[in-house]
Amino acid sequence: MPGPVKNSDFVSKIQVFEPHKAALPPLVPYFKEFWKRRTFATELARFADKAEYLDSKFGKVWLVLNPLLLAMVYFLLVTVIRGSSSKNLGLTTLAHILIGLFTFYFAQNCISAGAQSITAGGRLILNQAFPRALLPFSSTISAFQQFLPTIPVYIFVIVVGKHFFPTTQVPGLTWNYLWVPFIVLMVGLTGFGLALLFATMNVYFRDTNKLLTYMTRIWLYLSPILWQPSMLHGWHKMAIYLNPLGPVLSATSDVWINGKSPSLTIILGSLFWAAFAILFGGYFFISRERDFAVRI
């Protein structure tokens, strides 16, 4: 028979959270641990998707229905009220707005969900040791999964539109569509980097998430979605490159609407903003994540 258990046999583990100065931890072990736990981010994204539409009768149909209805509203404002003399031009405008909204919503979902990921995951942060960047990364995976069903819907709309308007300017299937994975990757990286930035800001300033709602709406109007990049000339084209999503949305218009490859400046602009968002947002987040447990 085992002897009586002494109280000294149990040693309580006390975890103390203290404020830290903004400084980067050892990056090699950090990224190794991040990659090792990537499955955690994937499963968390899958769980979040199920929970979000659990009480909705239409479920994930809203992923497509919401931007589709919004595109019709903007189409009416831009085309019908303005007065369009060409039905083919109207279909081209609708196609441009639709693919622009789908792409913009991908980035917006990355940022808005990622901004809330740290404050919403407070219990995980307090009870588990893991790279905190996995939480915004999980939001980016979820946003990508929500973006995928919109592409077949867009293709269906264009195929049906070309059937009724065979002379429409929207191109058919070309080799230039091989640029689509590059565009999606740039949107995802830019969205993830900005999610890291706003997630950190939301820890220190809880009103950040509320301000994001208005910021993204203004951002939508300033992006080449309701208007086409070809409308800008001369130094006005700088408005595209000063917008973090400007170059990649212009590339979206080039590939999906104009049926051509993006220009070199558009490609470089997309790469610049994706790299800048990841590096700046990553530094801002990782250098302060040890302070999150104290702030939540």
> What are 131-143's pLDDT values in tens digits?
889 999 999 999 9
Residue 13 lies in a domain: no
Higher pLDDT, 293 or 12: 293
String of DSSP letters for the chain: -PPPPPGGG------------S----HHHHHHHHHHTHHHHHHHHHHHHHHHTTT-SSTTHHHHHHHHHHHHHHHIIIIITT--S-HHHHHHHHHHHHHHHHHHHHHHHHHHHHHHHHHHTHHHHHH--S-TTHHHHHHHHHHHHHHTTHHHHHHHHHHHHHHH-TT-SS--S-GGGGGHHHHHHHHHHHHHHHHHHHHHHHHH-TTHHHHHHHHHHHHHHHSTTSS-GGG--GGGGHHHHTSTTHHHHHHHHHHHTS-SPPPHHHHHHHHHHHHHHHHHHHHHHHTTGGGHHHH-
Residue 80 lies in a domain: yes
The pTM (predicted TM-score) of the whole model is: 0.84
Residue 6 lies in a domain: no
Q: Which residues span the domain enclosing 154?
A: 23-295
Q: Please answer whether residues 124 and 87 qualify as being in contact, where contact means their C-beta atoms are separated by less than 8 angstroms.
A: no
Which residue from 190, 192, 34 is spatially nearest to 113, judged by alpha carbons?
192
d(CA 99, CA 108): 14
Residue 3 lies in a domain: no
Residue 42 lies in a domain: yes
- Tell me: pLDDT of 172 over 80: no
Residue 67 lies in a domain: yes
Split into its structural domains, the chain has a count of 1
Residue 269 lies in a domain: yes
Higher pLDDT, 52 or 285: 285
Please report the pLDDT score of residue 243 as a whole number. 94
Higher pLDDT, 101 or 291: 101
Please report the pLDDT score of residue 257 as a whole number. 84
d(CA 251, CA 82): 26
Residue 220 lies in a domain: yes
pLDDT tens digits along 7-31: 545 455 555 555 556 677 788 888 9
Task: Tell me the one-letter amino acid at 229.
Answer: P
pLDDT tens digits along 216-255: 999 999 999 988 888 888 888 899 999 999 999 999 989 8
